[in-house]
Amino acid sequence: MAQQELIIEAGKTERHYWKDILRFRELFFFLSWRDILVRYKQTAIGIAWSLLRPILTMAVFTVIFGRLAKLPSDGAPYPILVFAAMLPWQFFANSLGESSMSLTANANLISKVYFPRIIIPASAVIVSVVDFLLSFLILSALMVWYGFFPDWRIMALPLFILMAFMASFGIGLWATSLNVKYRDFRYIIPFVVQFGLYISPVGFSSSIVPEKWRLLYSLNPMVGVIDGFRWAILRGESRIYWPGFALSAILIIVILLSGIRYFRKTERTFADII
């Protein structure tokens, strides 16, 4: 018999944490699978909705920023410019929304069963990946329609997807642990998401921001991610402002690491206060 000894002591539950995550990977898959199933099950509108929302947003932005405000499109068709930004933005917004509510939504699991709690917000982010893939199909269709095809730079896209993932997971970790402690924190997230849509370069290219403000503008971590997506998808026509990009990337890493730290620090008390 493989006799493994488990020690439970105050402030010391974390010794096998990362090993435990590996051990509970099946639960992680099952939770993601559950969330995806529930999301797309029964609701025929489920899939239609995740297709319709980005298309409508793109149409509105194209009309307002491209046609009415006549903002520059960096040499690409305006809808593609918008959609290249919609991809990471929707992914960020969805996964932030899902993960920030994930712990409180699974309160009964947390108070009845042990597993590394970080599995819950992580699997919530995974659900948004499905929406992301669907949106990607729309983008491909758009590119075929406009006859605009990416070059080798598209190979770098997974890197930027990883950045988007880290950004939303990092902020999601903060949000969901704060949400357990302060129940009115959830009112802040939708506001952040809505506000973020306007201050991030989704409907317009970040090149319209004056050069001297761009570093400041990059304090919004999504600026780096969106610029990266545009660079990869629009054949480099949309140039990256590298100092800003580096700042965004560093910020994302800081947010993620501090998010994990804060989550780990507070997760031991989740079951007591949830």
Partner 1 sequence: MPTVIKIENLSKKYVISHQRQEPYLALRDVLAENVRRFGGRLSRVITGKKASGRPSREEIWALKDVSCEIKQGERVGIIGRNGAGKSTLLKVLSRITEPTSGRVSIRGNAASLLEIGTGFHPELTGRENIYLNGAILGMKKADIKRKFDEIVAFAETEKFLDTPVKRYSSGMHLRLAFAVAAHLEPAILIVDEVLAVGDAQFQKKCLGKMQKIGSDGRTVLFVSHNMQAIRNICSRAILLNKGEVVSDEATETTISHYTRFLQEIEVNSETGVNNELVRRGSGAIRFTSVELQDADGNKRFSFEMGDIVRFKISYRIFREMKGLIVHIALCSGITRENVTSVRHLVTPDKLAAGVKGTLIVEFKDIYIRPGEYPVYLLLCDADMTSASKDVLDDLAAPLVITAGGKKIYDNFDPSRPEGYFSLPSQIVLNEIEGENIVNAYSKKEE
One of 70, 108, 147, 210 touching partner 1 (CB under 8 A): 108
One of 22, 56, 64, 113 touching partner 1 (CB under 8 A): 113
Contact in structure between 167 and 229 (CB atoms under 8 Å): no
Question: Judged by CB under 8 A, which stretch of 52-60, 66-74, 157-165, 266-274 contacts partner 1?
Answer: 266-274
- Contact flags string 51-70 toward partner 1, x per CB under 8 A: --------------------
Q: CA-CA distance, 89 to 204, in Å (whole number)?
A: 13
Q: CA-CA distance, 197 to 53, in Å (whole number)?
A: 14
Q: How many residues bind partner 1 (CB under 8 A)?
A: 40
Task: At 142, list the tokens.
Answer: 């758009």
Question: Judged by CB under 8 A, which stretch of 58-66, 80-88, 106-114, 148-156 contacts partner 1?
Answer: 106-114
Contact in structure between 92 and 117 (CB atoms under 8 Å): no
Question: Judged by CB under 8 A, which stretch of 8-16, 131-139, 141-149, 193-201 contacts partner 1?
Answer: 8-16
One of 71, 86, 110, 163 touching partner 1 (CB under 8 A): 110
Q: CA-CA distance, 117 to 165, in Å (whole number)?
A: 18
The answer to whether 105 contacts partner 1 (rule: CB under 8 A) is no
The answer to whether 42 contacts partner 1 (rule: CB under 8 A) is yes
Closest CA to 20 of 38, 42, 4: 4
- Contact flags string 213-252 toward partner 1, x per CB under 8 A: ----------------------------------------
How distant, in Å, are the alpha carbons of 45, 46, 88, 151 from that of 41? 10, 8, 25, 37
End-to-end CA distance of the chain: 37
Q: Give the total residue count for the chain.
A: 274
The answer to whether 111 contacts partner 1 (rule: CB under 8 A) is yes
Q: CA-CA distance, 37 to 30, in Å (whole number)?
A: 10
At residue 227, φ and ψ (nearest 5 deg) are -60, -40
Nearest-approach distance from CB 149 to partner 1, in angstroms: 40
The answer to whether 45 contacts partner 1 (rule: CB under 8 A) is no
Q: Which residues of the shown chain bind partner 1 in the complex (CB under 8 A)?
A: 1, 3-11, 13, 26-27, 30-31, 34, 37-38, 41-42, 106, 108-115, 178, 181-185, 268-269, 271-273
